Structure 1
Amino acid sequence: MEYLLELASSPTAWVALITLVIMEVVLGIDNLIFISILTNKLPKEIQAKARRIGISMALILRLGLLSTVAYIVQLTEPVFSVLDHWFSWKDVILIAGGLFLLWKATKEIHHTVDPVEQEEAKIGDKVSMSFASAIGQILVLDLVFSIDSIITAVGMTEHLPIMIIAVVSAVIVMLVAAEPLAKFINDNPTVVMLALGFLIMIGMTLIAEGFGAHVPKGYIYAAMAFSATIEGLNMLSRRAKQRKIAASREA
C-alpha cells in the first residue's frame, strides 16, 4: 500500500503513466484496424460479438504477459544465429506476425480488386469466414501486438502498477473505438484499401524489426496520419461532387 501511495505522489510516475498510456493507445491502433477489417467479413449479427471477444483477448494476453515480465524481458536475448545475425524469440515472433499480416492484407486486397471474384465475394465472402477462423486469426495478431506492447511498457517504466493501468486504459479506448471504426471502414470502401495498405506497412515494419532494423514508430504513424488526411480530403471532395450533382438534378 505504501508503495502505491508513493507512486501516486510521484510526479515522475504520473509523467511515465501518461506517456505510456499514449504509447499503448497508439500501438493499439494497429491491432484495432486488423480486428475491424476481419470482423466486418462476418455476418452482421455476430460482428460486434467478435470484436468484443478479440479486444478482450488482447487485454487478457497483455495482463497475462505482464504477470511474467521477467520471462518476457528474456525474449529479447539472442538464442540462435543465421549467417552471423543473431535472433531472439521476440525477433522470431515479430517476423512471423509480419509475414502473417502481409499474407492477410495481400489476400484481402486481391479479393477486393480481382474482377473475376467480385460477384462471388459479394455473395459468399462473409459466409466463407467462420466465427472460429476470425477469432483464431485475431488471437494470432493479438499475441504479436501484445508482446510488442509489453516490451515497450517494460522499456519505459519499471513499475508494474503503471504498466497495468496503461494497458487497461489502452484496451478500454480500443473497446470504445471499435464499433465506430468498424462502421466507418465498412461504410467507406476506399478506406478499407487504405487500412489494408496500413497493415502491409505495419507487417513490413515488424519484419524489419525482427531482422534488427529499427524503424522509428513516429515515422510510421506520421505516414499513416498523412495518408488518412489525404483520404479524408478525397472523401470530402467526393461528397461535395455528389451534393452538386444531386442539386443539379433537383433543379
Structure 2
Amino acid sequence: MTKVLIAFYSRSGVTEALARAIADGAAAKGAEVRLRRAREFVSAETMALATGWAEAAAAMNARHAAPTEADAEWADAIIFGSPTRFGGVAAELKAYIDSLGGLWFQGKLNGKVGSAFTSSSTVHGGNEATILSLFNPMAHLGLVIVPTGYADPALFRAGTPYGASSVSWNEATPPTADDLEVARFQGGRVASIAGDLAAGRANAARDAAIDEAGRESFPASDPAATLV
C-alpha cells in the first residue's frame, strides 16, 4: 500500500479543507494517508490578536497530530500545504521542513515523491509563488517533484499547474467545488506516481537479490580448469 504524508499548516481551515480533499483523492487510489498539521510557535498573546485563531488551531489540533520526522521517513510521498505568507510558505510549515535535516543527511528522503498546495486571501496573493517556493526545499531533500500540470480538465477551471489552490477573499471562504476537485486529482496523481516508483524500486531490489543469489550458486569457473 502506498503511503502518503500530507503535512500542512492552516489558520482558519481553508488550507485544511484542501488537505482533506487531497487525502480523499489519495485514499481513492488505495493509499494509506497521514494528515498532519504543523503547530504554531508564536505566543498566545500573538494568536489572540487575530479573532478566532486560537480556537481554530485548537480544533484542528484535536483532529490532526503534528507532523514528525518519523512520518516523513514512513511516507512514499510527502505533500506540503501552506497558506501564503507575504508570497511564501508559512513559518509553521517551514519549521517542520527544516526539522528534516537529519533524514536529508542520511539520504532517507531521496526518491520519495513531493508535491505542494496552497491558499491565499486574495486573487493575486501569491498562490503560485508559494507552491514554487516549496519546490526549492523539495529539491534539496531529494524528492521527485510531481505537479498537477494540466493533466485533468479541472485544472482549466481552478488550481494551478503547480498544485491545488484556493482564494478565501479575506473572509476564510471555503474552497469551491472546482478547487476541491483539483485537490482530489492531485492526491490521486501523487499516490499513483508514488506507487509506481515504489514498485519499481521493489522490483529492482528483487532482481538484484536474484542476481546475487545466482552468482553465489554458480561461482565463476576456475580459469585453469578450462585448459584441461
**Same-fold call, TM > 0.5?**
no
**Which is strand-richer, 1 or 2?**
2
Identify the structure with bigger relative contact order (alpha carbons < 8 Å, sequence gap 6+). Answer: 1
| Larger helix share, 1 or 2 | 1
If the length of structure 1 is used for normalisation, what is the TM-score? 0.32
| Structure ID, larger Rg | 2
When normalised by structure 2's length, the TM-score is 0.35
